[in-house]
Structure 1
Amino acid sequence: MFKTIIENVKYKTPLVHCITNYVTVNDCANILIACGGSPIMADDSNEVEDITTICNSLDINLGTLNERTIISMVKAGKKANELNHPIVLDPVGAGASKFRTDVTLKLLEEVKFSVIRGNISEIKTISQGSGTTKGVDADVSDKVTEENLDEAVIFAKKLSDKLNTVIIITGAIDIVACSDKAYIIRNGHAMMSKITGSGCMLTAVIAAYIGANKDNIFDAAAAAVCVMGLCGEIAYKYVEENKRGTSTFRTILIDEMSKINEKDAERGMKIEIR
């Protein structure tokens, strides 16, 4: 289903400009290399436009948001729009503070994003303009479950139509939606939430996948979510069998991303269309 998309990432080696979270920047760089991409971490406003110009896609992550990088995000985003480069936004913690919410909404006003990825609370904050996100985790009351999945899919499709962008809601069940179609993805493992940076790494992988597949952003984003989740499943199996812990899990997650091939990915994907 996604064979060509995965092949394109490995063949084209997309260069990804990351203005990202300094807590997880090293893991983001390593997962990008592992998936077949190439990272550039540059966030000074004096160079972000030049760096974006030579890249294939842009990853904007609000994890360690500050006044200095807001300017850089807007400048890089506008340059990427000018060049028709795909951009993914990770609104980390949107709703946790007025500052984060205001910056998220400012970015949405000034930059056209190809993909927005967050947990359900962050995505609801974008939709509503306010929220109750606790830290970087979704509210317990806002979890996507089998019982409210249909409602969540409708919500994601409507927001995608409103913003004209692919919406990705990640959690125990992942949703990748455009205005008239959604992928439901059940790959992944709960241990992914026990390491810092699994979400940031996923956003970086999405940036690589859409950078290598600019003519098919929707399917490329879904493929990235599936592959990342599958690598998490395999990493957990290794950790469980070898009685290891979370640090090993992170390492094996990146290892598996570097090893996974198109056939293994397609066999392991747990995905449906709604």
Structure 2
Amino acid sequence: MGSVPDAVYAKYYAQLELVRRRKPLIHHIVNYVAMNDCANVTLSLGASPVMTHHPDELEDIVSSSSAVYVNLGTPDQERLHSMLVAVRLAERYGVPVVLDMVGVGATRFRRAMADKILSGARVGVVKGNGGEVLGLLGGVGGVRGVDSAVKVEPRVAGEVSEKYGCVVAVTGVADYVASRGRLCRIKGGSDMFTRITGAGDMAGSVIASFLAVNTDPFDACIGGLATFKAAGALSAAKCRGPGSFRAQLLDELFNFRVDGYTHVKISFEEV
């Protein structure tokens, strides 16, 4: 993979600055475990979160939003119904959607939920760890709860992208973003992300915030994940443990500047 010039990092920082100026509304239907963290991360970036999932509110909220983020953590039938309605409304109003496949590789119920959402309306970005991505292709094993010990080849992201016609982000030690024969690898971050709950969910909020100001979902995914990984590296260098890491992460996102991208490495290739 070829590395990128400094101008590319400046482009992603310009997207973050656009989030800060526009303060886009990001509609979340996410799991109860990480809801507060997702809201705070969104605020720290400069965007505005709304966390409702009541069906009677969805049209008013979705039609006013700049992005919709749905997340399969803590699933139940009511939330599944709300996710389906929100995604269909987003398609009607031209609002981009991020689907986070939390635990899809772990249970048949979540795989069925993901299939129902993806077949019901257009989704711009699908995100998950290695086990969750394999779950969409029918793969199983190596998944414990919503965590994954599965390492997937980068080409798998491309296979899922081709299957569903969307951008696919696979998160892990290195993140991969795939779309239409393009593949990006983002290295960096910190293993402190594995010491807190909801890190992947928060990454989804960051992607959705970038997607709200960028019509290219491939580019928005890269910018969001690079920013989140870089902020994680900066937080890990200053924290004393998981508790202070979580708090420091909000501060690093809030104060993030373009030189923070020195903590990540982005590279591209054709697949």
TM over 0.5: yes
For residues 125-182 of structure 1, what are the alpha-carbon distances to aligned partners after superposition, in whole Å with 9 as ceiling and x for unaligned?
A: 1122x533321111x3x224xxxxxxx2222122212211110000111101112111
Asked if the contact 1:89–1:116 (Cα under 8 Å) also holds between the matched residues in 2, the reply is yes
Q: Does 1:126 align with 2:136?
A: yes
Q: How far did 1:267 drift? A: 3.4
Instruction: Report the equivalent of 1:247.
Output: 243
Distance of 1:254 and 1:182 partners within structure 2: 29
Instruction: Report the equivalent of 1:185.
Output: 186
Q: SS where residue 177 of structure 1 aligns?
A: strand
Instruction: Report the equivalent of 2:34.
Output: 24
For residues 191-244 of structure 1, what are the alpha-carbon distances to aligned partners after superposition, in whole Å with 9 as ceiling and x for unaligned?
A: 10110111110001111110111x2211111111011011111111102xxxx2
Q: How far did 1:14 drift? A: 1.2
Q: SS where residue 21 of structure 1 aligns?
A: coil
Asked if the contact 2:186–2:265 (Cα under 8 Å) also holds between the matched residues in 1, the reply is yes
> In the superposition, relative to structure 1, how do residues 73 and 103 fare at CA in structure 2: closer, same or farther (>3 Å)?
same
Q: Which runs of 4+ in 1 moved over 6 A?
A: none
Q: SS where residue 182 of structure 1 aligns?
A: strand
Question: Which of 44, 55, 60 is the matching residue for 2:65?
Answer: 55
Q: How far did 1:45 drift? A: 1.1
Distance of 1:85 and 1:250 partners within structure 2: 30
Instruction: Report the equivalent of 2:255.
Output: 259
RMSD: 1.3
Instruction: Report the equivalent of 2:266.
Output: 271
Distance of 2:70 and 2:42 partners within structure 1: 14
Instruction: Report the equivalent of 2:156.
Output: 155
Q: SS where residue 137 of structure 2 aligns?
A: helix
> How many percent of aligned residue pairs carry the same amino acid?
33
Query: Counterpart of 1:137 in structure 2: which amino acid?
Result: D
Distance of 1:107 and 1:245 partners within structure 2: 37
Q: Does 1:222 align with 2:222?
A: yes
Q: SS where residue 272 of structure 1 aligns?
A: strand
Q: Does 1:37 align with 2:32?
A: no
Distance of 1:216 and 1:6 partners within structure 2: 14
Q: Structure 2 unaligned runs (5+)?
A: 1-7
Distance of 2:191 and 2:200 partners within structure 1: 12
Asked if the contact 2:230–2:261 (Cα under 8 Å) also holds between the matched residues in 1, the reply is no
Distance of 2:130 and 2:65 partners within structure 1: 30
Distance of 2:60 and 2:140 partners within structure 1: 35
Query: Counterpart of 2:221 in structure 1: which amino acid?
Result: A
For residues 19-55 of structure 1, what are the alpha-carbon distances to aligned partners after superposition, in whole Å with 9 as ceiling and x for unaligned?
A: 0011111110000010111100011111112211111
Q: Structure 1 unaligned runs (5+)?
A: 145-151
Asked if the contact 1:188–1:229 (Cα under 8 Å) also holds between the matched residues in 2, the reply is yes
Per the normalisation by structure 1, the TM-score is 0.91
Instruction: Report the equivalent of 1:238.
Output: 238
Superposition pairs of residues 25-104 of structure 1, within 5 angstroms: 25-104=35-114
> In the superposition, relative to structure 1, how do residues 59 and 67 fare at CA in structure 2: closer, same or farther (>3 Å)?
same
Per the normalisation by structure 2, the TM-score is 0.92
Asked if the contact 2:24–2:66 (Cα under 8 Å) also holds between the matched residues in 1, the reply is yes
